[in-house]
Amino acid sequence: MHINESAENYLETILILSKEKPVVRSVDIAEELNFKKSSVSVAMKNLREKEHITVTKEGFIYLTESGREIAEMIFERHELLTGWLVSLGVDKKTAADDACRIEHVISKESFEAIKKHVL
C-alpha cells in the first residue's frame, strides 16, 4: 500500500482532528494545516477516490479502515520519533519537525527496531 507523503499528512491530520472534534470538515483541515480550502478540496477528492476517506453530504469527513490504518501508523511514528529525539536532547520543536520528515521515509523494519529499543 503505497501512498504519498502529502496524503499521509492529510490522513494523520484527519485522525488528530477527529480526536478533538465531533466531526471533521475540509475547513478544519485547511485551518489546521494553514492550507487553502481549494487545495484541501482537491486532496479530499483524491483520498475519497482511493477509498481512504468518506465524505457525507453535509461535508463531514471520516477515515475508512484503510485510511485509519495509514493515519494511525503515521501518528504512532510521529509520536515515538518525537519523544525519542527529545529524550536524546533535541528541543521539542526541532524533534517534532524532524519526526514529521522521518515518519514518511523510514522503513517498517527500521521503525520497529527503534520502537523495540525505545520501549
Asked if residue 103 lies in contact with residue 74, where contact means CB atoms within 8 angstroms, the answer is: yes
Residue 72 CA to residue 67 CA, distance in Å, equals 9
- Residue 119 pLDDT: 83
Kindly report the pTM of this predicted structure. Answer: 0.90
Question: What is the model's pLDDT at position 1?
Answer: 52
Digit-coded pLDDT (tens) for 10-27: 999 999 999 999 999 999
DSSP-derived secondary structure for 23-49:
SB-HHHHHHHHT--HHHHHHHHHHHHH
**How far is it, in rounded angstroms, from Cα 47 to Cα 52?**
5
Q: Spell out the domains of the chain, with CATH numbers in brackets.
A: 5-64 (1.10.10.10), 70-118 (1.10.60.10)
- Look at residue 59 and tell me whether its pLDDT is greater than 60: yes
Residue 69 has pLDDT above 80, yes or no: yes
User: In the predicted model, is pLDDT for residue 86 greater than 80?
Assistant: yes
Q: Which long-range contacts (CB under 8 A, 24 or more apart) does 88-91 make?
A: none
C-alpha cell at 101: 520528515
* % of the chain beyond a pLDDT of 90: 95
Buried b (16+ CB within 10 A) or exposed e, 79-96: ebbbebbeeeebeeeebb
